[in-house]
Chains A and B, each alone.
Chain A
Amino acid sequence: MPTAPDALFKSLADPTRRALFERLSRHGAQTVRRLTADSGVSQPAVSKHLGVLRHAGLVRAKHSGRETHYTAQPRALAPLVDWMSYYSAFWQDKMDRLEEVLERMEP
């Protein structure tokens, strides 16, 4: 993971940045203008927040014409996710489903 976790923590400590990141994660690429319209803060403020997110590797900027499109990079979150807890719950659930499938199967 190339990005230092400090940068990740700091960038997501701010609620406005978390909201921007979540919006990009859910809705795909968006322009600064669009993000500004939805966020309730000024365009320069949104641009500054996007810069911090970009520094942390959480968003990527792509220029097309005069517009810049930002996309979320959820992979950058990998250091923060507790994979072992996630997969423990995941497999417990899958084992229960496996049991249901076995009940339904022909002997």
Chain B
Amino acid sequence: MTTPEPSTRSVIVEKEFPHPPEKVWRALTESSLIEQWLLKNDFQPAKGHRFNLRREPMGNWNGVIECQVLAVEPGRTLSYTWGSLGLETVVTWTLTPTDTGTHVRMEQSGFPADREANYKGATYGWRKFFGSLEVVVAGLE
């Protein structure tokens, strides 16, 4: 576990769903439902619980993402660590009720800002070469 420092960056994805927070919460926390939209898993909504998300092994990567539940506030907040290929980040889900359903915010935090800044240009130029390698490394579907 590493605590995200101010020098880290986040990926944030937000979406409105025409469904109540209770229903969205189930999809985020019931193992069989998680499998339907994310990955195979042995998730349990209990603070401290360690679980794996599994995808097809690729190359030398066994396809396992190692996670641990950090926070569970039913219907409101869910947070877990996300460890894969030597990078550990934190995924936090925040549900906010709206007039028509639920606003869902996913923040994945802890990306090393320095590395990102240093390599952004280089990565852009190399993207062409790494088109296929990236599939091996990151497991794009």
Q: Which residues of A contact B (CB under 8 A)?
A: 1, 5, 9, 12, 18, 21-22, 24-26, 28, 71-75, 77-84, 86-95, 97-102, 105, 107
Contact = CB atoms under 8 A, between A and B. Distances in A.
A88 B11 CA distance: 6
A99 B138 CA distance: 24
Interface residues on B, range: 35 or more
Dominant secondary structure of chain A at its interface with chain B: helix
Interface string B92-107: 0000000000001010
B54 to A, nearest CB: 15
Contacts of A102: 17, 19, 23-24, 27
Given A80-B119, A86-B140, 20 more contacts: A25-B59, A25-B60, A28-B59, A74-B136, A79-B115, A79-B119, A80-B126, A80-B130, A81-B130, A81-B134, A81-B137, A82-B127, A86-B134, A87-B89, A94-B38, A97-B37, A98-B38, A99-B17, A101-B37, A102-B27
Given A12-B129, A91-B106, A95-B106, A73 B37 contact: no
B27 A98 contact: yes
A15 to B, nearest CB: 9
B117 to A, nearest CB: 11
Contact of A82 (B17, B60, B106, B119): B119
Given A87-B11, A91-B11, A101 B122 contact: no
Contacts of A88: 11, 13
B87 A78 contact: yes
B140 to A, nearest CB: 7
13 contacts: A5-B122, A74-B85, A74-B136, A78-B85, A78-B137, A80-B119, A80-B126, A87-B11, A89-B140, A94-B37, A97-B36, A102-B27, A105-B26
A84 B60 contact: no
Contacts of A89: 140
Nearest to B28: A98
A46 B80 CA distance: 44
